[in-house]
Chains A and B, each alone.
Chain A
Amino acid sequence: MGVLLELVDLTRTYRVGMEDVHALAGVSLRIEEGEYVAIMGPSGSGKSTLMNIVGCLDTPTSGVYRLKEREVSSLADDELARVRNEEIGFVFQTFNLLARADSLHNVELPLIYAGVPPAERRHRAEEALASVGLADRMKHKPNELSGGQRQRVAIARALVNRPSLLLADEPTGNLDTRTGEEIMALFGQISASGRSIIVVTHEEDVAARSRRIVRLRDGKIESDLVVAPGQHTRAAGG
């Protein structure tokens, strides 16, 4: 297995009024291909900023970000869009499906921007939906689906263009406990299939499903622990 991504002394500074806010103050992290990592931290710890940079939605103020051995810290907007399209699958807390479009069309979106021809697009979207157990919900619109089903559509969308990394932001935050469990079980399957996963969460239960927990505080890595498989531990607190 190779290195999936490498962050070297990453900083991200926002200017709020007259003051500089250091959301990330020197983060170095290395994640191998196939890893299942949880990023945790209280609000204001910089975990959202880290997620945005890892997801290529934002660029660091200084430092280096290499994704699959490619330096992506200073790419232009459209190049970042290309990287997001090919390498990263996003799963959001609020699902972020297009309300007007049915499941199939929602899942097709990344393929549209990848320039995949319509017939193949449709075929791959159908496959992705079937793989998350929604073969019978292709023509349903988001408001005709339950929360769990919506998140499954979002996961199908995240995986449809075969990204290197599945990046999830509080994926169970809007779901009840049981449905959340189901979604996390699905994440387990996806991880078992070899896909790299990073989950940003503040829920210990969710983090405990991963193999490695990275905790942030005040823009720095506070701890970075490997979790034994299946072990629901309260990892080192702070």
Chain B
Amino acid sequence: MAIDFKESTGIAFQALRANKLRSLLTLLGTIIGVTAVIAVISLVQGMNQYVSGKLLAQGSNVFWIDKIGFEMDNEKIREALKRPDLRLSDADGLADALGNKAYVKAEASTNSEIRYLAHKMQRIEVKGVYGQFQQVDDQEIANGRPLADLDVQRRRSVAVIGSEVAEELYPGLDPVGHAIQIGNRGFVVVGVAKKKGSFFGESQDRYVQVPFGALLKLVPQTPSVTIGVKSVDAGKFQQIQDEARAVMRAIRHNRPGQPDSFGITTPEAFLGLWRNFTATAFIVVIGVAAISLLVGGIVIMNTMLVSVTERTREIGVRKALGARRGDIMLQFLVEAVVLSLVGGALGVALGSSIALLVGLVSPLPAAVSGVAVGLGVAMSAMVGVFFGVYPAARAAGLDPVDALRYE
């Protein structure tokens, strides 16, 4: 098969240059389709890294037990809310049963206004903690001391505050030893936690930690607690989880055959939800990309059909000079593919720029992967081949006599 390659690619680029606006419109569909694919794949991959990184940092061998568990369905949440509350005694029972194989903490929280002198912060999360919270949370103290067992036992009005609370409430001051008013009660700051950064734009340093007993003075009624369990041996995570479930069923008198009256949430469950979410995003984007590429392909096909008609005489001349069907076919296919590849290249550039820009202005690390770029280029080339075949076949099938006579 002989192909006038220089001429084919030359014609495609010349046509693009000749009318920039028309070219942009011709390639718009392809550009949008490829841009969408590149940008979303890059962003989702970036977010995947981010999410698994953060979740692992939160402790991959910690699981939580509470009334509802990890549930997205409204009806099931309503049902779960009818279950009896989880109590500190449940946490104690679990801690006894698991012994030294696991650390167990309990926690409940409320939102409250906090203030120091004239400084005020609204709706700050106040966590009441109980049990082996230090081991479970891996909390690090930047300044002062952590809450001690004795603080919890005696329900002392002392608090450890997050680094952002420290900065806003005590500007230019060491908060340790100073008073803090939580709701309408007075507490004393004993420590400041190390900065943890943000998760999905939400700060993890805007909180106040107090003994569980002290929290009860701030809320109208005893809340249901969330129990956190950390397996001492990370390798026995699943085993500890199974044991904890059995123990909890016993403590809460769940009869055989009856469902759990509590829910267990693991980092895996979060990752699963995240994967579901990204899968949905992928499907939406594939849909958008498919429609854009379809439209883009049809526009390219139309452009090629116009080109074939305009160049009927040229096709006749080429045939007179010895071009076979396949030669003409290949020439127009190459033109269509060059067109769509230019669109694809612009899409790759645009999509990568969007992903990198998002990576710059947000905490999400955008990963522009070779796979995404390759996919974008391959997709646009396929569009060119698929939508170029019909115009090319029309050109190749022209009768040389008619084509030469065409005015």
Please list the residues of chain A having a beta carbon within 8 angstroms of any beta carbon in chain B: 52, 55, 57-58, 77-78, 81-82, 84-86, 90, 92, 96, 98, 100-101, 105, 109-110, 112-115, 157, 161
Cα-based distance from A58 to B400 in the complex (angstroms):
8
Q: For residue B323, give the distance in angstroms from its CB to the closest CB of chain A.
A: 5
Name the A residues within 8 Å of B324 (CB-CB). Answer: 77-78, 81-82, 113
Q: For residue A81, give the distance in angstroms from its CB to the closest CB of chain B.
A: 4
The verdict on A81 contacting B323 (CB below 8 Å), with A52-B401, A98-B317 known, is yes
**Chain A residue at minimum C-beta to C-beta distance from B403:** A57
- Among A52, A85, A112, which residue has its beta carbon within 8 angstroms of that of B4? A112
The 10 sampled A-B contact pairs (Cβ below 8 Å) are: A78-B325, A81-B325, A85-B322, A92-B317, A96-B316, A109-B318, A110-B321, A113-B318, A113-B322, A113-B327
Instruction: Tell whether, in the assembled complex, residue B320 and residue A55 are in contact, meaning their CB atoms are under 8 Å apart.
Output: yes
Interface size on B, residues (CB 8 A): 25
Decide if B313 is an interface residue (CB 8 Å cutoff): yes
- Among A81, A84, A98, A113, which residue has its beta carbon within 8 angstroms of that of B314? A98
Q: For residue B316, give the distance in angstroms from its CB to the closest CB of chain A.
A: 8
Instruction: Tell whether, in the assembled complex, residue A114 and residue B320 are in contact, meaning their CB atoms are under 8 Å apart.
Output: no
Instruction: Tell whether, in the assembled complex, residue A109 and residue B321 are in contact, meaning their CB atoms are under 8 Å apart.
Output: yes
Name the A residues within 8 Å of B404 (CB-CB). Answer: 57, 92, 96
Instruction: Tell whether, in the assembled complex, residue B321 and residue A113 are in contact, meaning their CB atoms are under 8 Å apart.
Output: yes
Instruction: Tell whether, in the assembled complex, residue A105 and residue B7 are in contact, meaning their CB atoms are under 8 Å apart.
Output: yes
**Chain A residue at minimum C-beta to C-beta distance from B397:** A77
Instruction: Tell whether, in the assembled complex, residue B322 and residue A84 are in contact, meaning their CB atoms are under 8 Å apart.
Output: yes
Which positions 1-60 of chain B face chain A at CB distance < 8 Å? 2-4, 6-7, 10-11, 14
Q: For residue B261, give the distance in angstroms from its CB to the closest CB of chain A.
A: 80
Cα-based distance from A81 to B3 in the complex (angstroms):
14
Name the A residues within 8 Å of B322 (CB-CB). Answer: 81-82, 84-86, 110, 113-114, 161
**Chain A residue at minimum C-beta to C-beta distance from B326:** A78
Cα-based distance from A98 to B4 in the complex (angstroms):
12
Q: For residue B34, give the distance in angstroms from its CB to the closest CB of chain A.
A: 28
Name the B residues within 8 Å of A77 (CB-CB). Answer: 324-325
Instruction: Tell whether, in the assembled complex, residue B321 and residue A157 are in contact, meaning their CB atoms are under 8 Å apart.
Output: yes
**Chain B residue at minimum C-beta to C-beta distance from A85:** B322
Name the A residues within 8 Å of B319 (CB-CB). Answer: 57, 81, 84
Instruction: Tell whether, in the assembled complex, residue A109 and residue B325 are in contact, meaning their CB atoms are under 8 Å apart.
Output: no
Cα-based distance from A101 to B4 in the complex (angstroms):
11
Cα-based distance from A161 to B323 in the complex (angstroms):
13
**Chain A residue at minimum C-beta to C-beta distance from B3:** A112
Name the B residues within 8 Å of A100 (CB-CB). Answer: 7, 10-11, 14
Cα-based distance from A98 to B95 in the complex (angstroms):
88
Q: Which 7 A-B pairs have the closest CB atoms?
A: A85-B322, A113-B322, A78-B324, A81-B324, A96-B317, A57-B400, A110-B321
Cα-based distance from A114 to B3 in the complex (angstroms):
10
**Chain B residue at minimum C-beta to C-beta distance from A55:** B320
Q: For residue B392, give the distance in angstroms from its CB to the closest CB of chain A.
A: 16
Name the A residues within 8 Å of B327 (CB-CB). Answer: 113
Which positions 325-345 of chain B face chain A at CB distance < 8 Å? 325-327
Instruction: Tell whether, in the assembled complex, residue B401 and residue A112 are in contact, meaning their CB atoms are under 8 Å apart.
Output: no
Name the A residues within 8 Å of B321 (CB-CB). Answer: 84-85, 90, 109-110, 113, 157
Cα-based distance from A161 to B320 in the complex (angstroms):
13
Q: For residue B285, give the distance in angstroms from its CB to the closest CB of chain A.
A: 39
**Chain B residue at minimum C-beta to C-beta distance from A53:** B401
Cα-based distance from A86 to B326 in the complex (angstroms):
17
Which residue of A55, A84, A86, A115 has the most chain B CB atoms within 10 A of its CB atom? A84
Cα-based distance from A31 to B301 in the complex (angstroms):
47
Name the A residues within 8 Å of B323 (CB-CB). Answer: 81, 113
Cα-based distance from A82 to B4 in the complex (angstroms):
16
Q: For residue B103, give the distance in angstroms from its CB to the closest CB of chain A.
A: 76
The verdict on A57 contacting B401 (CB below 8 Å), with A81-B319, A96-B313 known, is yes
Cα-based distance from A42 to B40 in the complex (angstroms):
69
Instruction: Tell whether, in the assembled complex, residue A58 and residue B325 are in contact, meaning their CB atoms are under 8 Å apart.
Output: no
Instruction: Tell whether, in the assembled complex, residue B7 and residue A114 are in contact, meaning their CB atoms are under 8 Å apart.
Output: no
Q: For residue A16, give the distance in angstroms from its CB to the closest CB of chain B.
A: 14
Known: A84-B321, A100-B10. 9 other contacts (CB 8 A): A57-B400, A85-B321, A86-B322, A96-B404, A98-B7, A105-B7, A109-B4, A110-B322, A114-B322
Name the A residues within 8 Å of B316 (CB-CB). Answer: 96
Instruction: Tell whether, in the assembled complex, residue A113 and residue B320 are in contact, meaning their CB atoms are under 8 Å apart.
Output: no
The verdict on A101 contacting B320 (CB below 8 Å), with A96-B313, A96-B404, A113-B2 known, is no
Q: For residue A58, give the distance in angstroms from its CB to the closest CB of chain B.
A: 5
Which residue of B2, B4, B6, B321 has the most chain A CB atoms within 10 A of its CB atom? B321
Cα-based distance from A92 to B313 in the complex (angstroms):
12
Which residue of A100, A112, A161 has the most chain B CB atoms within 10 A of its CB atom? A112
**Chain A residue at minimum C-beta to C-beta distance from B6:** A105
- Among B2, B317, B325, which residue has its beta carbon within 8 angstroms of that of A115? B2
Instruction: Tell whether, in the assembled complex, residue A90 and residue B4 are in contact, meaning their CB atoms are under 8 Å apart.
Output: no
Which residue of A90, A96, A114, A157 has the most chain B CB atoms within 10 A of its CB atom? A96
